[in-house]
Amino acid sequence: MSPMKLSAALCATLALLAMAPGAARAQHEHAEHAHAAAPVPPPATRWTPDATLRTDMGEIHTALEQLRHYEMGHMDATLALDRVGAIEDAAADIFAKCKLAPEPDAALHGMLVPLLAAAQKFKADPEDMGQLAAMREAVAGYPHYFEAPDWAADAHAH
């Protein structure tokens, strides 16, 4: 199977897993597998995201920033869970429309799989603030790999 077909198949599989019942278990199992793979080093020149990736990662970034209010006690759990749902929806959209070359695809999946695993854990226990930190950590490298002007401050903070 060519790398492009393999990448498309992986995107489709992950999108289905993200939407299927039992997705948390499947994501957890995939997350364990993803950690076993060698991490993708940041490219010499950051990759340019397509419109879908730019929009959806922007939504993930915004939701994670909004969740800081929950951590400070200025947001209730219902709204926090709504923001986590928005993160999951944006990630599912990325998986459904994934059309990246193999290397950026692998780098992105290395971020989204742990992001979704932490989101599932937070939904199971909204008092576990560590999962919010885990979600941020999962995507902290995004501006090192992809052009992300709105994430510029984050790129220097990590």
Instruction: Give the pLDDT score at 124.
Output: 97
Instruction: Give the pLDDT score at 153.
Output: 52
Instruction: Give the pLDDT score at 38.
Output: 67
pTM: 0.75
Instruction: Give the pLDDT score at 149.
Output: 86
Distance, CA of 54 to CA of 57 (rounded, Å): 5
Task: Please identify every stretch of the chain with a pLDDT value under 50, giving residue numbers as ranges.
Answer: 1-36, 154-158
Question: Residue 98: which residues within 8 A CB-CB, separation 6 or more?
Answer: 7, 8, 11, 12, 14, 15, 105, 108
Instruction: Give the pLDDT score at 37.
Output: 55
